[in-house]
């Protein structure tokens, strides 16, 4: 049995039926194979607030609640797309909200969990928006805006992101020194994050010590999971999609 499975950047949306199916397949797989699932942000493509709950998003929450009913603990960390997801959805889905950054212990290892965008420090505009949206006051103020206006705004953001415009690659680069200094401050040797959609393991040497960076994939094709069990430690895995 896998002690912990880490995923991020599903970008779930009712129009993305194949990704929704992949998620449903994952839920079945996780129920049989894992004890805990950590969702590290951008679970939804956009989320204008918990008053956006409709039949489709409720079906997603019900999948998570069913997974939790099978004895799987589910933890959710906000990303830059779903930072407005709140307690109403969390209670419906039976998930626990995680503050970023979070440090957990797996075996003897202290592990840092973040969405990942905090380390893309070359993108000054995104960092400004991140500071704004992660301020505890901003969500409360933004959620006072009528839902129709909020929903129109987030759908414009989605349309813009799907317009085919290629953003410069540097906007998605993790600045290693920023990440490694953060890891050093928190006394961790392992970080797991998403956001940049470049799955893999990167080993860094910093000030005489070795640090491991596990990067999660998006779900546009075959999602790459990061798993941990006591026998094998950390490793990458794929889930088999059902026909």
pLDDT (tens digit per residue) in 41-82: 999 998 999 998 999 999 999 999 999 999 999 999 999 889
Mean pLDDT value across the chain: 90
Return phi, psi of residue 208, to 5°.
Answer: 80, 5
- Residue 207 to residue 140: CA distance in whole angstroms: 41
pLDDT (tens digit per residue) in 13-28: 999 999 999 999 999 9
- Name the binding residues for substrate: 80-81, 123, 161, 195
- Name the binding residues for Mn(2+): 9, 11, 42, 80, 115, 195, 197
- Name the binding residues: 9, 11, 42, 80-81, 115, 123, 161, 195, 197
Domains of the chain are 4-237 (3.60.21.10)
* CA dihedral for 111, 116, 122, 125, sign (positive or negative): negative
pTM: 0.92
Q: What pLDDT score does 164 carry?
A: 45
pLDDT (tens digit per residue) in 133-177: 888 888 888 889 998 888 887 777 656 555 544 555 555 677 789
Q: How far is CA 152 from CA 21, 52, 148, 149, 214, in A?
A: 26, 12, 6, 5, 35
Helix (H, G, I), strand (E, B) or coil at 142: helix
Contacts of 117 (CB under 8 A, 6+ apart): 79, 80, 126, 130, 195
């Amino acid at each position: 049995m896998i002690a912990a499975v880490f995923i991020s950047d599903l970008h779930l949306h009712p129009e993305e039926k194949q990704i929704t199916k992949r998620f449903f397949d994952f839920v079945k797989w996780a129920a049989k194979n894992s004890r805990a699932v950590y969702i590290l942000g951008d679970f939804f493509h956009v989320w204008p607030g918990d008053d956006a709950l409709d039949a489709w998003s409720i079906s997603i929450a019900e999948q998570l609640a069913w997974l939790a009913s099978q004895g799987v603990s589910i933890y959710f960390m906000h990303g830059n797309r779903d930072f407005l997801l709140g307690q109403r959805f969390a209670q419906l889905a039976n998930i626990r909200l995680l503050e970023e950054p979070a440090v957990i212990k797996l075996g003897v290892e202290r592990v840092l969990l973040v969405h990942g965008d905090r380390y893309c420090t070359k993108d000054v505009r995104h960092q400004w928006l991140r500071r704004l949206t992660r301020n505890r006051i901003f969500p409360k103020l933004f959620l006072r805006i009528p839902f129709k206006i909020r929903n129109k705004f987030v759908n414009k953001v989605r349309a813009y992101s799907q317009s085919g415009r290629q953003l410069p690659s540097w906007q998605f680069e993790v600045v290693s020194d920023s990440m490694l200094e953060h890891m050093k401050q928190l006394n961790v040797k392992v970080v797991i994050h998403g956001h940049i959609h470049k799955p893999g393991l990167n080993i860094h040497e910093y000030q005489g010590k070795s640090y491991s960076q596990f990067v999660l994939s998006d779900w546009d094709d075959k999602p790459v999971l990061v798993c941990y069990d006591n026998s094998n430690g950390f490793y990458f895995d794929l889930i088999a999609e059902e026909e």
